[in-house]
Amino acid sequence: MNFLRPLTLCLCAAALAPTAALGEDGKFEIFDSNISVAEVLKTQRTWCNALLEISRDYRTGGISKAKATAARVIDTAYAYQYGPVAFKPTLTSGQQTFRTSREGALAYFVGHNPNYPGDTGFALKPWGSCAIDNKVIQLNGSSAITMGNVKLTTLSGKVTTVDKTWSFLRESDGQVRIVLHHSSLPYEL
């Protein structure tokens, strides 16, 4: 079975289906909300770079600097300003497994929130690199889904690989943001 065929068909259909309207000056304007593979990859790279920036800011400026950076990253990368986000971080459990609110996401990344006592700040670890290996990228108009692995390496060389599924949506302001983020450690027997 050729698993690339659905992606190829989806890409072709997306490329051929933009909507157009006649502007006031008689010229056509193309209204294309389709997300491209390049935009998906850019959004993922931006997420990795942001994680590294939060980690670096914590090392150089403490929790205040890291928290400010994380808040900016969440507001830019995730769609919490439009409603709940389906966020299941890697190292969460119990009643606080899912982080549908901005506060919960911020607590996961930087900790220091009494409402989330189990969070120690995933992004505060001394991360040195972040690499993404997508196994699937699906495009569907103004949304996209990816699934694969993220390989995180600390400054001392310790590697952690997580399974990650993201869903992206082009929001009304034109930005591509994360609306679903599911992360878990790989299953081991």
Angle, helices 102-110/37-77, rounded to nearest 10 degrees: 90
Token reading at 11: 């890409």
**What ranges do the domains of the chain cover?**
31-184
Token reading at 75: 């507001």
| H or E segment to which residue 73 belongs | helix 37-77
Number of neighbouring beta carbons within 10 Å of residue 15: 12
pLDDT, tens digit, 9 for 90 and up, residues 99-139: 788 998 999 999 999 999 888 999 999 999 999 999 999 99
Whole-Å CA distances, 86 to 38, 42, 58, 91, 98: 23, 21, 26, 15, 7
pLDDT, tens digit, 9 for 90 and up, residues 66-89: 999 999 999 999 999 998 998 888
pLDDT band at 30 (very low <50, low <70, confident <90, very high): very low
CATH of region 31-184, choose from 3.40.50.2000, 3.40.50.10190, 3.40.710.10, 3.10.450.50? 3.10.450.50
Number of neighbouring beta carbons within 10 Å of residue 4: 8
Q: What is the pTM of this model?
A: 0.79
